[in-house]
Amino acid sequence: MRAFYALFVARNKEFLRDRATLAWNFLFPILAVFALALIFSGDERDVYKVALVGVAPDGTAGDHAPPPVQAFLKTRYVKFVPVEDLAEAQEKVRHHQFDMVLDVTPATRYWVNPENPRGYFLERVLWGGGNTNGFAREELDGRRIRYVDWLLPGILGINMTFGCLWGVGYVIVRYRTAHVLRRLMASPVTAFQFIAAQIASRMMLVAFVTTVLFVGMDLVLDFIQLGSLIELAFMFALGAVCHIALGILIASRTQSQELAGGLLNLATWPMMFLSGVWFSLEGSADWLVALAQIFPLTHLVNATRQIMLDGATLATVWPEAAIMAGMTAVFLAAGSALFRW
């Protein structure tokens, strides 16, 4: 028991004397609670999303909309999103990102996905209990996009994010605290060689795991894959390099494994909820959509989802690829400059 007590006291002192870790353990829960409270503030939460075509620049339907539409636009728990591109909005209805597209001009029409249960209930509300109430109903053709089809790119992306950040960032910090890096410093190994080896190793592991998951889930779920597998693999590889570079930046100077865990959680958890992995941010607050753009996972999920579900090519998703390439360059440059053995 004396040995146990000595180790117990020593570990407590080590934790209490690490002021950065101690402060982080108090600050992170507070920041997380306030952030979630801010994001999900409000007495009412929107359950449905409807795209509006033909609205005024300020987002209102104006007096030209028929009375049933005016009444429908006052429905609670429905998020009405003004759109300009009807074809894009229709694609999002197919993907369950919108529950309905409504044309508010006098020649009122609406489009729904017959496989979306939320669209079914919105129809009944729009009709006001009557039989179509004079609206022209149109169904969107094409293969049904299941939620699992829409979710898969995000699942692969978030799995890659955790693997890259923790598999590189946390391991480097552990090497530093165990004085492994100090021993490597005394060898002919350069910082560039060490970082390059970490990137190559993690890329090989991520490629293997992602390929196994992709093939295995395709055999079980038969999910939709319309785009090029080569272009899809390129985007996943670019996303992996970007997240590895971010992990290197986080680990470049961190001296404590506890602090490294906190910083990595700070990087991964917001990305998990704000990068469009589980639900679409379409129609969310502008500041929230803007905030999501700082995460590399947002651009990875957007690009891979377009390739898989829309059959997009690199010529279509090049803005997302360019952003991730730019982030990679910044993270690697900063991580290399700040890196300490």
Phi, psi (5° rounding) for residue 224?
A: -80, 130
pLDDT of residue 82: 84
- The SS3 assignment for 84 reads coil
Cα angle, residue 41 at apex, residues 35 and 42 outer, rounded to 5°: 175
pTM comes to 0.69
Q: Is it the case that residue 4 has pLDDT exceeding 80? A: no
- Cβ atoms of residues 144 and 265 within 8 Å: no
Confidence of residue 329 (pLDDT cuts 50, 70, 90): very high
Q: Is it the case that residue 29 has pLDDT exceeding 60? A: no
First-residue to last-residue Cα distance in the chain: 37
pLDDT of residue 144: 63
pLDDT of residue 205: 83
pLDDT of residue 92: 81
pLDDT of residue 328: 92
Average pLDDT over residues 203-224: 82
Provide the mean pLDDT of the chain. Answer: 79
DSSP secondary structure letters along 271-297: HHHHSSSSS--TTS-HHHHHHHTT-HH
Q: pLDDT of 275-323, one tens digit each?
A: 888 777 766 677 888 888 889 999 999 999 889 888 888 888 899 999 9
Average pLDDT over residues 226-240: 90
Write out the two tokens for 167. Answer: 């598999």
Q: pLDDT of 73-116, one tens digit each?
A: 888 888 888 888 888 888 888 777 788 888 877 667 888 888 77
Alpha-carbon distance of 218 to 224, in angstroms, equals: 8
User: Tell me, what DSSP letter sits at residue 109?
Assistant: E
- Name the nearest CA neighbour of 126 among 112, 113, 142, 139: 112
Confidence of residue 24 (pLDDT cuts 50, 70, 90): low
Lowest mean per-residue pLDDT among 13-22, 45-54, 220-229, 237-246: 13-22
Alpha-carbon distance of 48 to 77, in angstroms, equals: 7
Write out the two tokens for 129. Answer: 């209990």
- Cβ atoms of residues 306 and 312 within 8 Å: yes
